[in-house]
Structure 1
Amino acid sequence: MSAEGRPFLQVVRGDATPEEIAALVAVLSARAAAASAAAGGGTRRTSAWADRSRMVRTPLPHGPGAWRHSALPR
């Protein structure tokens, strides 16, 4: 049987109720999510459109003739 056909969890002994299996799956899912977040898998990149630093104006140039360059696009 292929790896996709095998069950992820299997009750070997006892008679687990559906509630007990659901609780076990919830705990394992939460633990896997916490492990992936700790490994850096939970970080999201901010898109350039949503980046607030785009709204911050760059410093104006200093020195002679700086007033001319302050309005020119770079």
Structure 2
Amino acid sequence: MIKVVRGNPTPEELAAALAVVQARAAATASAAPGAPRVPEEWSDPARIARARSRQPGPRAWTRTFWPA
């Protein structure tokens, strides 16, 4: 059940909000329950290592933590 707590939405605004909620629920329901979920791109730790590392040099210790 969806309840409007604040404001006075127009019927069009309420229909748009319900369409988004229904689409999200349908997308979640259509996913296979046993299938592994693919991690989101932004949270993938491997994205940090995609850039080629710099070669070690005299000041290599300054670049040990932050990728270039």
Q: For CA contacts below 8 A with separation 6 or more, give which structure has more relative contact order.
A: 2
Q: Which structure has the larger Rg over C-alpha atoms?
A: 1
* TM-score, normalised via structure 1 length: 0.41
TM-score (norm 2): 0.44
